[in-house]
Chain A
Amino acid sequence: MKKTYLKAALALAVSVTTLVSVAQAQGVRENYAPVTNDMVLNPPAEEWLSWRRTIDNQAFSPLDQINSDTIGDLELAWAWPMADVGIQETAPLMHDGVLFLQTNNNIVQAMDAKTGDLIWEYRPALAKVPAEWGYQLYQSRRQKNSIALYEDTVVLTTVDARIIVLSAKDGKVLREVQPFDVNKGYSYTVGPIVVNDTIISAISGCSIAGTAGGCYIVAHDFNTLEEKWRFNTIDDPNNPEQQASWGDVPPENRWGGTPWATGSYDPETNTTFWGVGMPAPYAELIRGSEDGNVLYTNSTLALDADTGELKWYYQHLPRDNWDLDSPFERVLVDVEEGGETKNLIVSVPGKNGIFFALDRNTGEYLWSQETVVQNVVTNIDEDGTVHLNEELIMTALGEAPMVCTSVSGGKLWQAGAYSPKTQQFYVPLTEACNTVEATQSEFTAGNATGAVKFGPRVLPEGITEAGLVDAIKVGATKSEGEGWKARSRASMTSSLLATAGGLVIGGDAGRYVKAWDDTTGEVVWQQRLNAPIGGSPMTYELDGEQYLVVPTGFSAAAGSIASAFPEIPIPSGTGNSIFVYKLPKQ
């Protein structure tokens, strides 16, 4: 009898143990504190809640424990291999002690931000597309950035064109919607912003053959996932000027206009700002648009966040013929000048690397400044009219002008950072040129409509260093002689992070993560890691300790310019990882 009781007790103990371990394996973060709307608009100093930490896209952290004096003491706290291969463009987020990590093919992992233990993992079953749809499949291996955190959820946009809302506690799907047709070529490659109970996202894949005529910024109700509005970047029936800018080309023969960087939001005016990419086909010879400006490609759009109504637009590169698209991060900055506050939107919006400052309430052009060598824009008038070097516009098949920057930039998806401390915008860039030649191509399902042949990337004449970090002083007017330039032989491959510790942090194709002094550009710390530095470095604080997260991994941009620095071979392995540093405990 006693024996039986003992057996039963033992069995019970075993099954309880099993239950506990199953619960742990499923991964649940109990007592997760919701991300409120107020927190999205004004995040706690120790957290990183959005793609660029704040919804103004500044990528500035107020943390200063890691600074010029202490950074030399950094130690590795933990590291982690990413869940999939492909181009490393991850943008980790941190809230309430949980590090959220998204990688290619929309795998999301929740990690204990202090210990590096996995809490839960979500792997979506993605729609299958034919193997021949090479360009479309490529999209799933180059996820640009980020998920969004809102209330107790993670909002995920997917390469099969869905929006999925996950529980932040356990990674379970709460609800989802399919706004666009993956079989036409649509895919999400950038994350959304979520504010005021509204998910605002932008679809990609608009240069794939089946998506002709429509490329969209779209808003959904966060709770019901009902669509609130959508704005078509290449077909605006409310604007005759937009229609005329494509010449005789009807919407069904228009492509491009992809807004492939996450937008920003201004609560004062309830406006969301998005950058729009290039037109396709890339060359007007093939596009058929003659000398039209092909709106709203390569523009900044200011949209009413409640209605999607266009408040203003500004076109940074009209009449693009070279795939120099201009969708990159739009950063909202307020500066004090002459006793009043100026509300600016600043950006290096396009691959040609030109910095722009606009009045974000009106869209008025204020000033611009070149960074890397470019030969496409000859000058910009005081009213913001952009003039092109028309000698570079192909008028016949077989012409192959040398165009700077290259199709890989100049500027690319790697985002810049703005420091309110120095009032400077820091931007990662690459010096490169390539030949561009228009071709007549028959478009096929799942493939691109660029119809251009690019030559190999080469350094501009007289330049021997491919990498450049440019620090640009921001104001309502241009400041001459301020800022700094830090050059490196290898090209830049990561976004930048600016901190109150006086640091700018990022890295290059040569596998160096570096910290530059934010006022001088001097390198104050560097380490060589396993692969090109990638994605978006970020920082957070837990239990009084500041952490620094550095993603590394496969870089297509580095591969395309590798011949400019052949003595620094790019690894043939992918190596996608994150490295998490902190200072030693006192």
Chain B
Amino acid sequence: MRYQSPRFVLGMAVAVTGLLMQVLPGQAQVFTQAQAEAGQKDYDGQCAMCHGAELLGPNAPALVGKEVMHNFSTAAGLFDYFSVAMPPQAPGLLDEEVYVNILAYILEANGAQPGDTPLDADPVKLAAIDLGAITSAAAPATDAPAEQAEAPASSVPQAYTWGKTLPSIK
């Protein structure tokens, strides 16, 4: 057996990891890297002064985290809010492309992966993007019957209904 250099082993590991990242379930690619990069510039200019360079606030609420992604629920939920209300110095007044790019950046900051499909402001498409599924946020176990469901392990208490199937019109 031929000796493999550490660099080769490292290279293989990186390649395998990259492959795994591409095939991980639930990580549909809904924006491009170029959009996220443009979005970062717009975010830094329009949003970071309150929401923070790391999107963690603290002068305005954090924009990354499981709770944030679950609460906004879909990309439409997030987009419909901030493209109307934000930023306070120019509420709803930025170009649509700027809002779309900022959305791409927020999704990337939450662990979503870029791909070949560009994001656009089509409300139907945005409503179909499940933030919990495409970011690193874990989705609640809504498929299991209420009485049998077990909530995922967590270091903090969860809602009384967590893990239960709730009525939905979605």
Closest residue to B91 on the A side, CB-wise? A563
Q: Is the CB of A131 within 8 A of B92?
A: no
Interface size on A, residues (CB 8 A): 64
Pair A455/B71 contact, Cβ less than 8 Å? no
Within 8 A of B (CB), among A425-471: 437, 439-445, 447-457
User: Any chain A CB within 8 A of the CB of B90?
Assistant: yes
A570 to B87, CA, bound (A): 9
Contacts of A442 in B (CB 8 A): 66-67, 70, 137-138, 140, 152, 154, 158, 162
Which residue of A213, A281, A395, A559 is within 8 Å of B159 (Cβ)? A281
> CA–CA, A451 to B132, complex, Å?
13
A127 to chain B, nearest CB (A): 15
Chain B CB within 8 A of A267 CB: no
Interface size class of B (residues with CB under 8 A): 35 or more
Contact B81 A454 (CB under 8 A): yes
Docked pose: A227 CA to B169 CA in angstroms: 50
Q: Is A209 in contact with chain B by the CB < 8 A criterion?
A: yes
A134, B58: Cβ atoms closer than 8 Å: yes
Contact assessment for A566 and B58 in the assembled complex, using a CB-CB cutoff below 8 Å: no
Best-buried of A281, A456, A558 by chain B (most CB within 10 Å): A456
Residues of A within 8 A of B137 (CB): 442
Task: Indicate if A398 sits at the interface (CB-CB under 8 A).
Answer: yes
A396 within 8 A of B: yes
Given A134-B58, A448-B67, A453-B77, is A209 in contact with B167 using a C-beta cutoff of 8 Å?
no
Shortest distance from the beta carbon of B126 to any chain A beta carbon, whole Å: 14
Are the CB atoms of B88 and A141 closer together than 8 Å? no
Q: Is B61 part of the contact surface with A, judged by Cβ < 8 Å? A: yes
Taking the closest CB of chain A, its distance from the CB of B127, in whole angstroms, is: 11
Q: How far is the CB of B23 from chain A (nearest CB, A)?
A: 24
Q: What's the Cα separation between A131 and B56 when bound, in Å?
A: 7
Which residues of B, 127-170, contact A by the 8 Å Cβ criterion? 137-138, 140, 142, 152, 154-162, 166-170
CB contact between A137 and one of B49, B56, B85, B87 (< 8 Å): that residue: B56
Q: Which of B159, B161, B168 has the most CB of A within 10 A?
A: B159
In the complex, B15 has a CB within 8 A of chain A = no
B93 on interface, CB distance cutoff 8 Å: yes
**B92: A residues at CB distance < 8 A:** 563, 566
B residues 35-79 in Cβ contact with A at 8 Å:
49-50, 54, 56-62, 64-68, 70-73, 77
Q: Are A209 and B156 in contact (CB under 8 A)?
A: yes
**Which residues on B sit within 8 Å (CB–CB) of A450?**
71
Complex CA gap A566/B89 in Å reads 8
Q: A559-B50, A569-B90, A572-B89 are in contact. Are A137 and B142 (CB under 8 A)?
A: no
Give bound CA distance, A63 to B6, whole Å: 81
Q: Is B120 an interface residue (CB 8 A)?
A: no
| Interfacial chain A residues near B57, Cβ < 8 Å | 134, 137-138, 141
**A186 interface hit (Cβ, 8 Å):** no
Whether A566 and B91, one on each chain, are in contact in the complex, defined by CB atoms closer than 8 angstroms, is: yes
Most chain A CB inside 10 Å of its own CB: which residue of B58, B81, B140, B142: B58
Q: Are A134 and B62 in contact (CB-based, < 8 A)?
A: yes
Chain B residues closer than 8 Å to A362, beta-carbon distance? none
- Asked if A87 and B59 make an inter-chain contact with CB atoms under 8 angstroms apart, the answer reads yes
Interface stretch (choices A70-78, A234-242, A285-293, A333-341): A285-293
Q: Which residues of A contact B12 (CB under 8 A)?
A: none
Q: Is the pair A441, B70 in contact by a Cβ cutoff of 8 Å?
A: yes
Separation in Å of the B99 CB from the closest CB of chain A?
13
Q: Find the B residue at minimum CB distance from A131.
A: B56
Given A396-B168, A455-B80, A569-B89, A441 and B67 contact (CB-CB distance below 8 Å): yes
- Specify which chain A residues have a CB less than 8 angstroms from the CB of B67 in the assembled complex: 135, 441-444, 447-448
**Interface of B (DSSP majority class):** loop
| CB <8 Å contact, A453 and B159 | no
A181: Cβ under 8 A from any B Cβ: no
- Whether the pair B169, A563 counts as a contact (CB closer than 8 A) is no
Measured between beta carbons, the chain A residues less than 8 angstroms from B161 are 285-288, 440
The reply to whether A560 and B70 contact each other, CB–CB distance below 8 Å, is no
Question: Per-position contact with B for A117-136: 1 when CB-CB < 8 Å, else 0?
Answer: 00000000000000110110
Known: A210-B156, A442-B70, A444-B156. A456 touches B167 (CB 8 A): no
In the complex, which residue of chain B has the Cβ closest to the Cβ of A212?
A: B157
Stretch at the interface among A215-223, A245-253, A412-420: A245-253
What residues of B have a CB within 8 angstroms of the CB of A286 in the complex?
A: 159, 161, 166
In the complex, A448→B170 CA distance in Å?
24
Question: Known contacts A451-B159, A454-B81, A572-B88; is A397 also within 8 Å of B70 by CB?
Answer: no
Mark each residue of chain A from 98 to 124: 1 if its CB lies under 8 Å from any CB of chain B, else 0: 000000000000000000000000000
Partner of B157, one of A252, A437, A572: A252
Of the residues B58, B154, B159, contact of A140 by C-beta under 8 Å: B58
A-to-B contact residues, CB < 8 Å: 85-87, 131-132, 134-135, 137-138, 140-141, 209-210, 212-213, 248-250, 252-253, 281, 285-289, 395-399, 437, 439-445, 447-457, 554, 556, 558-560, 562-563, 566, 569-574
15 contacts between A and B (CB under 8 A): A132-B65, A135-B61, A137-B56, A137-B57, A141-B59, A210-B157, A396-B166, A398-B168, A437-B73, A440-B159, A443-B154, A443-B158, A443-B159, A559-B60, A559-B88
**Closest 7 CB pairs between A and B?**
A134-B62, A288-B160, A441-B70, A559-B88, A563-B91, A209-B156, A570-B88
